[in-house]
Amino acid sequence: MTTAIPESSYSVDVVERSANRMVLSMGPQHPSTHGVLQIITEIEGEIVTKASPEIGYLHTGIEKSAENLFWSQASTVIERMDYLSPLTNALCYYLAVEKLLGIDAQIPPRAQQVRVLLCELSRIASHCVWLGTGGIDLGALTGFFYCFDLRERILDLFEASGGARMHPNYIRVGGLGRDLPSGFLEKLDGVIAMYEPRMRDVRRLLQKNPILQDRMIDVGIISADDALAWSLTGPTLRATGIPYDVRRAFPYSGYEEYEFDVPTRTEGDAYARFLVRLDEMDEAMRIVRQVRKKLDTPGAWQIADTKFAPPPKETIALSMEALIHHFKLVSESFRVPPGDVYQPVEGPRGELGYYVVSNGDNRPWRVRTRPPSMYNLQVLKKIAIGELIADMVVMIGSLDPVFGEVDR
């Protein structure tokens, strides 16, 4: 008996309905899919026999919008792609643009340090959201409150520096939007001091929790071969034993000056990914401490060349050149010489890459994103076969997809 699935917003080929097999849509609105993911699962009792994730429910046409905005405006939409670490998106895009412009060597050291600081802080904040919501999937509600409170302190730093909690638009071409405000470093010291005890509590709460261990050990095992074949990167790849980290392989924005190590495990199951991300948060804080020491010395926070970076506001009313540069940048932005470049960055979910093409105009010709979440999520098709539905929930949480990035 074959049941024809009606053609609707998703199309599934006709599913052979054997005696006790049932098609279940773990649909776009589901408490444990971490966003708008639909998985058409064919189940036999509680065992998943075929899982085909359907994405596109958050497709925002960001790459098309970016093609119709100026080079400096495009980061507005690009930051809204991976909304758990927007600054990493902005940094990756601007590094690519600066490479095309050929000014990537002139970025002042303080700007690079602040960029590294903000990206490591957003890595911690992003892992806090993963740990919180992942814990809720397994019933650990207290972890959610602990992690979101730590994230709240980090968002205060983004709000103090960039002006907004999530999409501060603080990283710009040639450096930063403005210098760090006064009082920022004291707040940063507060966060650094608070991190250690808070993470010790979270680890004591979750790491050796027998329930979490039973639910995560030997669930969603990925071998190193599969990880490479399915193009997994980030904590998902490092949990299978391969220590590929873009910050170490292709250092950018001054990462070679900081020493941190790349945590890896070998089991490749959900618990290994859990431990890798926890260790990664500690490494990120280690970098933040090293950058903190460098931030005491003031310095230029933007390249001096005002053809790309708008001149300071107060000089506009004083000098004609500043006014002209300001007006030109605001009204029609700068032109980027024709060419294409691929710039990778180590995002919280893996290698986030931008393949930016310019044809010499003042708008990007093409901004192709390499979305780590999409490739990490795709492996669900393979590892969910033969597992319980409850384990598939744990797998989704351990792959940490962000659907703004998956669907772009």
Partner 1 sequence: MALGSGGDFLLTTVDAVARWAQSSSVWPLTMGLACCAIEMMTATAPEYDIARLGSEVFRASPRQADLMIVSGRVAQKMGPIVKRLYDQMADPKWVISMGACASSGGVFDNYAIVQGVDTIIPVDVYVPGCPPTPDGLLYAVNLIQQQIKQGGRGGILARA
Partner 2 sequence: MPSSQTPPAGATALDPTAVRPDIADVVRIIRVVPAALRATLEELKGEGFSMLLDVGGADYPGREPARFDVVYHLLRIERTATTLAQVGAPDRVRVLCAVGESDPVLPTVTDLWPSADWAEREVYDLFGVRFDGHPDLRRIQMPDDWQGYPLRKDYPLRGPALERTPRPSFALKSNVAAGTPASGKTAAALQRQIAQARGNNSFMPGSGPAAAAQSGSQPGGTVSGGAATPGQLAQQPVNLKTEDNKS
Partner 3 sequence: MTEARRVGFVYSFRSMSPYGPVAIYLAVAFLAALAFCLLPGLVARKKPNPVKSEAYECGVEPTSDVSGRFPVRFYLVAMLFVIFDVEAASFYPWAVQMHALRLFGLAEMLIFVIVLAVGYAYVWKRGGFQWR
Closer CB to partner 1, 165 or 326, in the complex: 165
41 lies in the site for partner 3, by CB under 8 A: no
Q: Please tell me the distance from the alpha carbon of residue 394 to that of residue 271, in angstroms, as a whole number.
A: 10
- Min CB(102)–partner 2 separation in Å: 7
* DSSP H or E segment with residue 285: helix 270-294
- Min CB(12)–partner 3 separation in Å: 8
Residue 279, contacted partner among partner 1, partner 2, partner 3, none, CB below 5-8 A by kind: none
What tokens appear for 163 in the block?
């002006």
Site for partner 1, rule CB under 8 A = 9, 27-31, 35-36, 56-62, 64-65, 68, 76-77, 80, 83-84, 129, 132-133, 144-145, 148-149, 151-152, 165-167, 403-404, 407
Residues 364-403 that bind partner 3 (CB under 8 A): 388
- Min CB(24)–partner 3 separation in Å: 7
Give the residue among 369, 355, 345 at the shortest CA–CA distance from 77: 369
231 Rama class: left (phi>0) / alpha (psi -120 to 50) / beta: left
30 lies in the site for partner 3, by CB under 8 A: yes
Residue 282, contacted partner among partner 1, partner 3, partner 2, none, CB below 5-8 A by kind: none
Say whether 387 sits in a helix, a strand or coil.
Answer: coil
* DSSP H or E segment with residue 343: strand 339-347
Closer CB to partner 2, 144 or 365, in the complex: 365
Contact present, 334 and 74 (Cβ < 8 Å): no
Residues 47-106 that bind partner 3 (CB under 8 A): 47
166 lies in the site for partner 3, by CB under 8 A: no
2 lies in the site for partner 3, by CB under 8 A: no
- Min CB(15)–partner 3 separation in Å: 9
Contact present, 372 and 92 (Cβ < 8 Å): no
Q: Please tell me the distance from the alpha carbon of residue 127 to that of residue 188, in angstroms, as a whole number.
A: 18
Q: Please tell me the distance from the alpha carbon of residue 60 to that of residue 81, in angstroms, as a whole number.
A: 9
What tokens appear for 367 in the block?
């901004």
Closer CB to partner 1, 247 or 408, in the complex: 408
Q: How many CB atoms lie within 10 A of CB 311?
A: 19
10 lies in the site for partner 3, by CB under 8 A: yes
Closer CB to partner 1, 63 or 257, in the complex: 63
Q: How many residues does the chain have?
A: 408
Binding site for partner 3 (CB under 8 A): 3, 5-6, 8-10, 12, 17, 19-20, 22-30, 38, 44-47, 388
